[in-house]
Amino acid sequence: MNQLQQNAAGPVPAIHTLNRRTFMMTTAAGAGAAASAATGTAAETGSAAPPSGAGSHETRVTINGKPHPLKLEPRASLLDVLREQLGLTGAKKGCDHGQCGACTVHVDGRRVASCLTLAVKTDGCAVTTIEGIESADGTLHPMQQAFLDHDALQCGYCTPGQIMAAIACVREGHATSEAQIREYMSGNICRCGAYTGIVEAIREAAPQVLRMEGRMEGRRHA
């Protein structure tokens, strides 16, 4: 398990021991745990514990390439199942109402707000979260690397959702200009206002992401 995976899955080193670069790598890789631990958003620290999503409805979902036979509560959101049942805490709960984009994941390659997606509706689908986009050898996805290179985050809470939306934005062909990127990323809110860096990161990473996706598509049809 590399450092980024450890941070995503478990305790984060005390902030005062981190320099800015280390902190940025931690958050951009989807951990966000440092931010949520430090800031304790209302959604995550509210008095009512979120539902785990466990129930009796049998569902088979492939998550980050691995099949998961699950027994789900029919009204559980995909976000709650990922976070509470599977421990995949990269996708963040911001508004829980489809308004902030912090919970963005991919279902069959398309971006969705996982807080508004019933987990049972993903039966038979492939779900990708921020934890599933780096290479098997631990190399960051080009979009993750570009976010680091452009300091496209401050607290990092919105960053996993921003990165998943950014990859989809490129995939959809909506990253050909700054104006287009701003338009098609407008569903993802950054309360720190890191938008300039986010746009620069997407512009820089777009060609590499398209090449990567082209190679993957070629392999699928080989």
Pick the stretch among 58-66, 93-101, 134-142, 205-213 that binds ligand FES (CB under 6 A). Answer: 93-101
Q: Give me the sign of the Cα torsion angle 179, 174, 4, 72.
A: positive
Q: How far is the CB of 217 from ligand FES (least distance, A)?
A: 29
- Which residue in the block uniquely carries the two structure tokens 């995949």? 88
- Judged by beta carbon, residue 176 or residue 186, the one nearer ligand FES is 186
Q: Residue 136, SS3?
A: coil
Q: Which stretch binds ligand FES (CB under 6 A): 44-52, 87-95, 166-174, 204-212?
A: 87-95
Q: Does 157 bind ligand FES (CB under 6 A)?
A: yes
φ, ψ for residue 144, nearest 5 deg? -60, -45
- Least Cα distance to 185 among 152, 139, 219, 140 occurs for 152
Q: Is 93 in the site for ligand FES (CB under 6 A)?
A: yes
Residue at 139: amino acid letter: T
Q: How far is the CB of 137 from ligand FES (least distance, A)?
A: 27
Binding flag, residue 134, ligand FES (CB under 6 A): no
Q: Does 62 bind ligand FES (CB under 6 A)?
A: no
Which lies closer to ligand FES via its Cβ, residue 93 or residue 141? 93
**How many CB atoms neighbour CB 20 within 10 A?**
8
Measuring CA to CA, which residue among 97, 98, 103 is closest to residue 158?
103
Q: Give, as ranges, the residues between 187 and 206 that touch ligand FES (CB under 6 A).
A: 190-192, 194
66 CB-side CA count, 13 A: 7
The identity of residue 14, as a single letter, is: A
Q: Decide: is 154 part of the binding site for ligand FES (CB under 6 A).
A: yes
Q: What is the DSSP code (8-state) at residue 82? A: I
Assess contact for 84 and 122: CB atoms under 8 A.
no
| Rg (the chain; Cα; Å) | 17
Window 95-124: contact mask with ligand FES (x via CB under 6 A):
xx-xxxxxx---------x-x---------
Q: Least distance (Å) from ligand FES to the CB of residue 6?
A: 21
158 binds ligand FES (CB under 6 A): yes
CB of 86 to ligand FES, least distance (A): 17
Q: What residues line the site for ligand FES (CB under 6 A)?
A: 93-96, 98-103, 113, 115, 153-159, 190-192, 194
